[in-house]
Amino acid sequence: MSTLADTPLIRTTALTRHDPVRNTTLLHPSTFILSGGQRVAITGPSGSGKSVFLRALALLDPVDDGVIQWRGRAIARGGIPAYRRRVAYIAQRPAMLDGSVEDNLRYPFSLKVYRDARFDRERVGELARRAGRDTDFLDKRASELSGGEAQIAALIRVLQVDPDVLLLDEPTASLDPAAALEIEALVSAWFDDGHGERASIWVSHDPAQAKRVGERQLVMTAGTLS
């Protein structure tokens, strides 16, 4: 008899997506399992379907067929907000609000799904330090941030609410090598500070980075995950 600890965090069965305009298949039937503690890296050429797959897992784009299960159960429409709290998607180019970094970090707590949580300036300051930033980083204007700093802020905004899974969609593709390593360090610290239930999927165009951030290596080719 399986236990909760044996149940994968995410399981997909025959997940499929088509592009009706171009009459092409973006994602061939994909069966995938993500268990607690796993760090998965997905590489592949541009247009191969890496982001299509990740956005489907994040429930950001619809699929044409297949099932996504969270902890052994299909996700009902009413359960989507709770799922997105546990499974966080990090885009390549983060959206930042007007105001300071702290204003951006406080924003999630204005949402209904986080009504039971509270902003902790000391904690986010520690996360900023993990990425090589001083506490005054929180006071910087979002409009003045470099690309790397904006991505750090966006990642802290997610990490502070304790997700179980990170879906990282080429988060360092537009950053210089030093900034990319800072993002990698912040994600690594998140794993080290947590427990075995945490997991990540990191889509990267850089094979060397994929080896650093993923213990399990997958390749996407023409919409097929292998």
Percentage of the chain modeled with pLDDT above 90: 76
Q: How far apart are the first and last CA of the chain?
A: 29
Place of tokens 């025959």: 14
pLDDT of 1 > 60? The answer is no
Amino acid at 115: R
Q: Within 10 A of 121 (CB to CB), how many other CB atoms are there? A: 12
Residue 4 confidence (pLDDT): 52
**Segment 157-166 mean pLDDT:** 94
Distance CA 138, CA 69 (A): 37
pLDDT of 194 > 80? The answer is no
Domain spans of the chain? 4-225
Q: Which two tokens stand for residue 60?
A: 């950001």
Give 166-177 pLDDT, tens digit per residue. 999 999 998 999
Whole-number Cα distances in Å, 212 to 39, 114, 184, 186? 10, 32, 8, 13
Which of the four CATH numbers 3.40.50.300, 3.40.50.1980, 3.40.718.10, 1.20.140.10 does domain 4-225 have?
3.40.50.300
Residue 187 confidence (pLDDT): 94
| Selected residue with higher pLDDT from 194 and 212 | 212
Q: In sequence order, what are the beta bridge partners of 17?
A: 27
**pLDDT band (50, 70, 90) for residue 6:** confident
Distance CA 210, CA 117 (A): 33
Give 55-104 pLDDT, tens digit per residue. 999 999 999 999 999 999 999 989 999 999 999 999 988 889 999 999 99
- 76-89: burial string, b at 16+ Cβ within 10 Å, e else: eeeeeeebbbbbbb
Residue 204 confidence (pLDDT): 95
Residue partners of 19: CB distance under 8 A and separation at least 6? 25, 26
Give 103-145 pLDDT, tens digit per residue. 999 999 998 888 888 999 999 999 999 888 988 999 999 999 9
Name which of 3-12, 44-53, 79-88 the model is least confident about.
3-12
Q: Which two tokens stand for residue 78?
A: 């009413």
Residue 2 confidence (pLDDT): 43
**pLDDT band (50, 70, 90) for residue 42:** very high
Residue 65 confidence (pLDDT): 94
Distance CA 167, CA 200 (A): 6
Residue 5 confidence (pLDDT): 57
Find the radius of gyration of the CA atoms of the chain.
Answer: 18
Q: Which two tokens stand for residue 35?
A: 């268990």
**Segment 147-156 mean pLDDT:** 93
